[in-house]
Amino acid sequence: MRMNTKNADSGRKTIPPKLVGVPRLIAATVNSAAGLKAAFLSEEAFRLEVYAFFLLSPLALWLGNGAAEKILLVFSLVLILIMELVNTAIETIVDLVTQDYSEYAAKAKDIGSALVLVSMLFAAAVWMIILI
């Protein structure tokens, strides 16, 4: 679970022991929900993509002919959300490591942004191929 405990002697945070079984699954679910909430609250792009997902998913289910088309249309939208989460994680880690300009930091952020762009181009291509 995410809860860190403080070491009374040094004031440093220690990593709690690993959970196993059902408690581990519950903790992972809680942490995942916290990650989704953090991304939604802190990233405007993620919020817009979530809104687009909820707007376009019903349309995909209505316009798709057969299960395969419906799955492809919806999956292409889910892929955008996944890539935005990966991009947000990359940006967060880079910002944690350095606030100074770095070619490596800029490259990492650009590649993360490219993930989102490629997923959006993929979604557009899927929608165009299926619907046109």
**pLDDT the model gives residue 19:** 87
Q: How does residue 77 score in pLDDT terms, banded at 50, 70 and 90?
A: very high
Closest by alpha carbon to 55, among 34, 73, 82? Answer: 73
Helix (H/G/I), strand (E/B), else coil: 49: helix
Other Cβ atoms less than 10 A from the Cβ of 84: the count is: 24
Q: Residue 82 above 60 pLDDT?
A: yes
- For residues 94-103, give the mean pLDDT: 93
- For residues 94-123, give the mean pLDDT: 96
**Contact in structure between 88 and 39 (CB atoms under 8 Å):** yes
Bigger pLDDT: 130 vs 99? 130
Dist CA 81 CA 87 (whole Å)? 10
Q: Residue 118 above 90 pLDDT?
A: yes
84 classed as catalytic? yes
Q: Residue 4 above 80 pLDDT?
A: no
Dist CA 24 CA 31 (whole Å)? 10
Where b means 16+ CB within 10 Å and e means fewer, 96-128 reads: eeeeeeeeebeebbeebbebbeebbeebeebbe
Dist CA 23 CA 16 (whole Å)? 13
**pLDDT the model gives residue 10:** 58
Q: Which of 44, 49, 69, 84 is catalytic?
A: 84
**pLDDT the model gives residue 12:** 76
Kindly report which listed range (34-38, 48-52, 95-99) carries the lowest average pLDDT score: 95-99
Bigger pLDDT: 112 vs 5? 112
